[in-house]
Chains A and B, each alone.
Chain A
Amino acid sequence: MLPFTPEVFFAQFEDYNLAIWPAQIIAYALGLLALALAFRPTDSSGRIIGAILASLWLWNGVVYHWLTFATINFAAPLFAALFLVEALLLAWRLVIRGGVAFSFRNDGAGRAGAALMVLAIVIYPLFGALAGHGWPQAAMFGVAPGPTVIFTLGMLLLAEKRVPYGLIVIPLLWSLIGASAVWLLDAPEDVTLLLAGALALVLIARKNRHLS
């Protein structure tokens, strides 16, 4: 049982979105830049995409979970820690260590990855709006955990080489935790988290097996 009601959860999201405005614009710009770099890769695009993903996870861990959600949910500091760990993993593996390139290929993993990113940026917030959680209560890409996780899984499907499993553990875990909102918070849009997690796990496992 959650320690707050859906009414309180979405009221907090409304306050959060209004308080951080226009961070959503910056997050969308970063997301679109990452998407563009995946379709038109450059020598440094892997590191830039890694930096974008890490910064979005860092924002979600600190600003959303730690500073906002923790005021109504005693479990949120744990969620903040998970998101910070993922931010560090992304920064270390993709930015500092480097060597992971992302590019769109017209195969199953590529199409699924692109579809998940479109889902995260466009469809997820629209789905939420149809369910009654439109702006300013909407969970927007980059500043809310759900769409950020879906986008990350989509981008990892575009990795040219094997996807490091260490990078998908926390996103997959969140796809399970976040999907509980479908039942606990009457947020049907979060069913996409579960589907994205399952799809990404299957395709990444198949891709890694094929590349090994």
Chain B
Amino acid sequence: MSETKGFISALTRRTVLNGIATAGAVAATARLAPGLALAQPSSLLTRAIPATGERIPVVGMGSWITLNVGASKKLRDARVKVLQSFFDHGGGMVDSSPMYGSSEEVIGYCLERIANDQKLFSATKVWTVAQAMGIRQMKTSEKLWGEERFDLLQIHNLLDWEAHMETLKEWKAQKRVRYIGMTTSHGRRHNDLEAVIKSQPLDFVQFTYNILDREAEKRLLPLAADKGLAVIINRPFRRGQLFDLFKRHPLPEWAGEFDCANWSQFFLKFIVSHPAVTCAIPATSRVDHMDENMGALTGRLPDARTRQRMIAHVESL
């Protein structure tokens, strides 16, 4: 009952999001409202990909550093348990890149050993110069993952994006990939990304957004919503800095009002409660941390007023 109440409450309050976003974001809210599925008892929080309406869990999994374990069997087997936990909790999107060393190969190793990965939403990137090199790299990624086709291929950090965009459009037309996207993780190339979003037929866009780095609220999130793009959020914990900054402080009691039991859920629910966000992709190498992260996949989400309270709280610490 309380979940239902939270659902209705969140939907109505979404119309007053101007406290946290620009007018564009409010427009995005109206557009995305039907796509938001807040938690019902024992249900998972999912969001719709605007291009198709396909729903994916709002918490995915990144692989920067955490899955780059080389050839060590011991470390690979430890990562199998992490990925297993991810799928056990109902996770879907796993995101990687050829830039992440052995991460793609390790994902392939893990997927071979996991039984319940049917809900995998495979997302990787192309990160090289020249169209021919990009094609070769994406084919290598397919082999490393053991996937016949990716759900999502993204151009990493806009590197030589004009060249790769041609390939991605062609592959999508041939149904060799389901969705295409563009990423930046620097927080410095938002203007460039904005220009690409406006000019290219993307399905997904990926950038950095967290409770302390909220630059994306001003332009990128509203623009993505306006263009009907799914949004993946990287660095949700600011590369772990958020824990360094706040873990010594107790979680506020009112975090229980939106079903947060720890800081990671607090940070993640802040992100995925933004109406323009489709999915956040925290990375971890530990099963216990995965368990904590995936707790953000259930329960209520903070409304607009609570999101402001969350910001004010962390900034006061």
Chain A residues within 8 Å of B102, by CB: 71-72
- Residue-wise, chain B 146-168 has the 8 Å CB interface mask toward A (1 for contact) of 00000000000000000000000
Q: Give the shortest distance, in Å, between A7 (CB) and chain B (any CB).
A: 7
- Residue-wise, chain B 186-199 has the 8 Å CB interface mask toward A (1 for contact) of 00000000000000
B114 close to A (CB within 8 Å): no
Report yes or no: A8 in contact with B99, Cβ–Cβ below 8 A.
no
A12 close to B (CB within 8 Å): yes
B52 close to A (CB within 8 Å): no
Report yes or no: A12 in contact with B70, Cβ–Cβ below 8 A.
yes
A1 close to B (CB within 8 Å): yes
B69 close to A (CB within 8 Å): yes
Chain A residues within 8 Å of B101, by CB: 3-4, 71-74
Distance A74 CA – B98 CA, assembled complex (angstroms) = 9
Chain B residues within 8 Å of A8, by CB: 68-70, 72, 75
Chain A residues within 8 Å of B69, by CB: 4, 8, 11, 72
Q: Give the shortest distance, in Å, between B297 (CB) and chain A (any CB).
A: 26
Report yes or no: B100 in contact with A11, Cβ–Cβ below 8 A.
no
Q: Give the shortest distance, in Å, between A123 (CB) and chain B (any CB).
A: 28
A5 close to B (CB within 8 Å): yes
Q: Give the shortest distance, in Å, between B79 (CB) and chain A (any CB).
A: 11
B239 close to A (CB within 8 Å): yes
B317 close to A (CB within 8 Å): no
Interface size counted on chain A using CB atoms at 8 A: 15
Report yes or no: A3 in contact with B68, Cβ–Cβ below 8 A.
yes
In the complex, the chain B residue whose C-beta lies closest to that of A10 is: B72
Distance A61 CA – B304 CA, assembled complex (angstroms) = 55
A15 close to B (CB within 8 Å): yes
Report yes or no: B75 in contact with A7, Cβ–Cβ below 8 A.
yes
- Residue-wise, chain A 1-43 has the 8 Å CB interface mask toward B (1 for contact) of 1111101100110110000000000000000000000000000
Chain B residues within 8 Å of A71, by CB: 70-71, 101-102, 105
Report yes or no: A4 in contact with B65, Cβ–Cβ below 8 A.
yes
- Residue-wise, chain B 99-132 has the 8 Å CB interface mask toward A (1 for contact) of 1111001000000000000000000000000000
Chain A residues within 8 Å of B285, by CB: 5
B263 close to A (CB within 8 Å): no
Distance A72 CA – B66 CA, assembled complex (angstroms) = 11
Chain B residues within 8 Å of A15, by CB: 70-72
- Residues of B66-84 whose CB lies within 8 A of A: 68-72, 74-75
In the complex, the chain B residue whose C-beta lies closest to that of A1 is: B239
Chain A residues within 8 Å of B64, by CB: 3
In the complex, the chain B residue whose C-beta lies closest to that of A70 is: B101
- Residues of B255-273 whose CB lies within 8 A of A: none
Chain B residues within 8 Å of A1, by CB: 65, 239
- Residues of A139-155 whose CB lies within 8 A of B: none
Distance A71 CA – B285 CA, assembled complex (angstroms) = 18
Chain B residues within 8 Å of A7, by CB: 75
Q: Give the shortest distance, in Å, between B118 (CB) and chain A (any CB).
A: 29
Q: Give the shortest distance, in Å, between B130 (CB) and chain A (any CB).
A: 16
Q: Give the shortest distance, in Å, between A13 (CB) and chain B (any CB).
A: 10
Report yes or no: B71 in contact with A12, Cβ–Cβ below 8 A.
yes
Chain A residues within 8 Å of B70, by CB: 4, 8, 11-12, 15, 71-72
Distance A71 CA – B69 CA, assembled complex (angstroms) = 9
Report yes or no: B65 in contact with A3, Cβ–Cβ below 8 A.
yes
Chain A residues within 8 Å of B72, by CB: 8, 11-12, 14-15
Q: Give the shortest distance, in Å, between A144 (CB) and chain B (any CB).
A: 16
Distance A14 CA – B239 CA, assembled complex (angstroms) = 27
Distance A14 CA – B285 CA, assembled complex (angstroms) = 20
Distance A71 CA – B72 CA, assembled complex (angstroms) = 11
Chain A residues within 8 Å of B105, by CB: 71
What residues of chain A have their CB less than 8 Å away from a CB belonging to chain B?
A: 1-5, 7-8, 11-12, 14-15, 71-74
22 contacts between A and B (CB under 8 A): A1-B65, A1-B239, A3-B64, A3-B68, A3-B101, A4-B69, A5-B65, A5-B285, A7-B75, A8-B69, A8-B72, A11-B70, A12-B71, A12-B72, A15-B70, A71-B71, A72-B68, A72-B70, A72-B102, A73-B101, A74-B99, A74-B101
Closest 3 CB pairs of A and B: A72-B101, A11-B72, A12-B70
